[in-house]
Amino acid sequence: MTGLLKRLFIWTIAAGLILPFAVVFGVSINAESNIAFPPTEFSGRWYIMLLTESDWLIPIGNSFTIAFFAALIAVSIALAANYVLWRLNSGFGRAIFALGIGPFLLPPIIIAMGASVFWAEAGWYGRMEATIISHGVFFVTLPLVVISRGFAALSDDVIDASRIMGATPRQTFTKVILPLVAPYVVTGYVLVAIISVNEYLISYMVSGFAVETLPIRIFNNVRYGYSPVVASAAMGFAFITVLSLLALSMVTDLLKLLGARRD
């Protein structure tokens, strides 16, 4: 009896989460040029439009460029912070770690506002580099936490063994620590890249009027009128996100990384 209720509940939740996307998918493959579901005639033209028209290609390019570099920044900060905390375990390390957690606790509007004011003063308001740096710094929390799990998994014995065998701290880092922490670093990178590609508010407020990212374009479209291409853009997002995560799951034990128990 409870088993049945549980299954019903979980399937309802699944439906609620997937249904919107099922509909968007249907809209994106509809041949008609107004938003309608179910599709009367199937056509892939909206996807073709998405991938050929510069109106869309430029925002796509912008989003990916920003994501690529922002993720590098975020992960480098997260790795350095984790290493310092792990190595020193002092107030210094903890302070840095706390700073890394900070951005996650604050509502994005506060951060976005602060960033736009900051860059206005610094003179980089409207430049892609500004968004890259802001994304890199504000999305530090997720890789910080993921990589901290990686360091937590490092047993002292392995490090001690390396030292006893005569390795310098640098060698221990490159030969022992880095390979063991690598899956977590890669996961952190992929997650930040995905989040950056999907982010709206900060990129809008820092450089939105000059650098159009994909979410900005979609948002403007929804506000001011759109065709089904937007649906194909939305689905494109969903596909890429899911595919990246699937790829990640094949390379790493995703469940373990997120904290599942070992059996």
Partner 1 sequence: MKRFALAPHLIGLYPLGMMVIFFLGPLAFMIVVSFYLRDPLGFYKVDFTWENYGKFFSSFYYSVSLRSIWTSALASLLTVALAFPAIYVITDMRRKWQLAWVIGLLALMCLSEVVIGFAWVILMSESAGIPRLLGWLGLWEDPRSLSPSRLAMLIGMVSLGFSLVALMFFPQLSQRDRSIEEAAQTLGTPPAQVFFRIVLPIFRPGLAASLVTMFVYYLGVYVMPTMLGRPQDWNMSVIITDKAVEQANMPLGAALAVIMLIFTVLLIGGFALATRKEGAK
The nearest distance, CB 44 to partner 1, in angstroms, is 18
Exposed/middle/buried for residue 220 (C-beta within 10 Å: 0-12, 13-18, 19+):
middle
- The helix/strand/coil state of 44 is coil
- Pick 109 or 161: Cβ nearer partner 1: 109
Asked if the peptide bond before residue 103 counts as cis, ω within 30 degrees of 0, the response is no
Q: What is the DSSP code (8-state) at residue 259?
A: T
The nearest distance, CB 120 to partner 1, in angstroms, is 5
- Pick 182 or 247: Cβ nearer partner 1: 247
- The helix/strand/coil state of 108 is helix
- Pick 18 or 57: Cβ nearer partner 1: 18
- Pick 185 or 205: Cβ nearer partner 1: 205
- Kindly report each contact of residues 4-10 with a partner whose C-beta sits within 8 Å and lies 24 or more positions away, as own/partner: none
- Pick 58 or 76: Cβ nearer partner 1: 76
The nearest distance, CB 157 to partner 1, in angstroms, is 20
The nearest distance, CB 166 to partner 1, in angstroms, is 18
Q: What is the DSSP code (8-state) at residue 210?
A: T
The nearest distance, CB 104 to partner 1, in angstroms, is 9
Q: ∠ CA 38-226-221 to the nearest 5 degrees?
A: 130
- The helix/strand/coil state of 19 is helix
In 56-165 the beta strands, taken as DSSP E runs, fall at: none
Q: How far apart are the first and last CA of the chain?
A: 27
The nearest distance, CB 62 to partner 1, in angstroms, is 14
Q: Supply 88's token pair.
A: 């020193």
- Pick 18 or 51: Cβ nearer partner 1: 18
